[in-house]
Amino acid sequence: MLVLVLLLTLSAQEGPPLPALALDAFPPAARDSVARAQRDVTARPSDAAAVGAFGRALQAWEQWESAHQAYSRAQALAPRTFDWQYLDAVVLQRLMRPTDAAARLKTAVSLNSAYLPARVRLAEALLDAGDLTASRPMFEALSKEAVAEPAAQVGLGKIAALQGDHERAIVHFKRAIELFPELGAAYYSLARSYRATGRRADAEQALAQHARFGATWPRLDDPVLSAVTELRDDGRALLARGLASAKTGEIEAAIALHEQALVRDPSLTQVHANLLSLYGQLKNSPKAEEHYHAAVQKGVNSADLHYDYGVVLASQEKWDAAAEAYRRAIAVNPLHVRARNNLGQLLERQGQIENAAAEYRKAADAQPSFKLAGFNLGRMLLVLKRPDEAAAEFEKLLEPRDADTPRYLFALSTAYVHAGRIAEGIKRATEARQLAVDLGQTELAAAIDRELARLK
């Protein structure tokens, strides 16, 4: 009897078994990495660190079920180690098991309440599990922390939408976009709430933005998870890390990672397109052009590729070649607003005001939130001596307010004056001046003062 008790006690201490793997089915790069971790854990099956490292290797190569088994064993061996609870929760989220993920995350947060990514994931897991009552106060608390606020606003918007309050949901989604304009998930949820309130045109515009930005999400430093992703050095993993570096402005690091990715996997044609943009940002035109032509030779024909090449050419004042590149971008995607706007600027340089206005109008119509196109259209209408039409375009730019609003107000006042509406022009100019002062835009405020003195 004593022997049986001892065996049961040892079994409980050992915890769940290690996952059985068919390593021959793994890709070569994954096989080597996972095999090393497997050999180590086989030699030390009761060492929580070795078991957890095995889980990391499996998670890095997206072996979700096997990683979950390894982390479960690591938790049994070391129940108060934060990493195994947290990483298992991440895996469970990938396995679409939000209730189980939330349980792991509650434990993880109890072990390290200062770890912000765990708190964000817990709020999201509770929401995905349908527990709106528990998730809302967590999102509300997270909304007070700057780096977590975009995710928190999306979460609060989803809760409001699920409760049928789409107007409140729209406010949250727009706030998330204001904080992070490339937040694709916010645009998608915003589109759904717009549709629910009958605003179909707004919904279509939001969906277009979602299509543009996809799964882009604001970066939240997560060193525990980064330790997993950095285990991989295959082409696709290096590309992913290069993209992450680019989003945080680490251009030279992003280029190095992209170049390494290309060495690992020359078939990754998107790397050439990305390097075109990255080298362009560093004003390294020869390298940018090299990767543009390499991408084209490999069959890439994306609007962004041609647009980025146009930007590189324009930076060298190769105006005709840049215009042709923008036209190629528009041929691939007629709704590429930046290509149309930039083409409009080149046409404006050539004195083709009507044609420039036409391009600006197409860009503004395709994406009203891209205010630069609307502003440029208004300018062209003033040049064409159509001030009432210009005023109508400038009026569209006033909401939501941002750092450019004083400039838009000043432009609107100019349009009013040219249309003979002097009093309205003075009123808008005065408003623009005060807002410029409030925002510390002293040069613009001085320019408005000079114009007001002339009008009065």
Same domain, 198 and 241: no
Same domain, 104 and 209: yes
Same domain, 256 and 196: no
Q: Is residue 410 part of a domain?
A: yes
Q: Is residue 379 part of a domain?
A: no
Same domain, 139 and 99: yes
Same domain, 119 and 264: no
Same domain, 65 and 120: yes
Measure the CA–CA gap between 190 and 173, rounded to whole angstroms: 6
Length of the chain measured in residues: 456
Domain count, the chain: 3
Q: Which of 252, 271, 300 is the last residue of a domain?
A: 300
**Dihedral sign computed on CA atoms, order 247, 248, 254, 257:** negative
What distances in angstroms separate CA 380 from CA 238, 384, 406, one per listed residue? 45, 6, 19
**Residue 22: what pLDDT?**
85
Q: Is residue 348 part of a domain?
A: no
Q: Is residue 336 part of a domain?
A: no
Maximum distance among all alpha carbons in the chain? 104
Same domain, 55 and 162: yes
Q: Is residue 147 part of a domain?
A: yes
Q: Is residue 454 part of a domain?
A: yes
Same domain, 251 and 147: no
Q: Is residue 275 part of a domain?
A: yes
CATH number at residue 392: 1.25.40
Which parts of 214-250 fold into alpha helices (H)?
223-229, 235-247
Q: Which of 278, 300, 322 is the last residue of a domain?
A: 300
Same domain, 77 and 142: yes
Q: Which of 300, 331, 358 is the last residue of a domain?
A: 300
DSSP 157: H
Give the DSSP per-residue string, 46-83: T-HHHHHHHHHHHHHTT-HHHHHHHHHHHHHH-TT-HH
Residues of the domain holding 173: 11-213
Question: Quick count: other Cβ atoms within 10 Å of Cβ 269?
Answer: 17
Same domain, 154 and 247: no
Q: Residue type for 298, please?
A: K
Question: Quick count: other Cβ atoms within 10 Å of Cβ 23?
Answer: 11
Measure the CA–CA gap between 263 and 266, rounded to whole angstroms: 6
Q: Which residues of the chain have pLDDT under 50?
A: 1-12
Give the DSSP per-residue string, 375-388: HHHHHHHHHTT-HH
CATH number at residue 88: 1.25.40.10
Same domain, 31 and 150: yes
Are 332 and 302 a contacting pair, CB within 8 Å?
yes
Q: Is residue 33 part of a domain?
A: yes
Q: Please state whether the predicted TM-score (pTM) of the whole model is above 0.75.
A: no
Are 352 and 387 a contacting pair, CB within 8 Å?
no
Same domain, 424 and 278: no
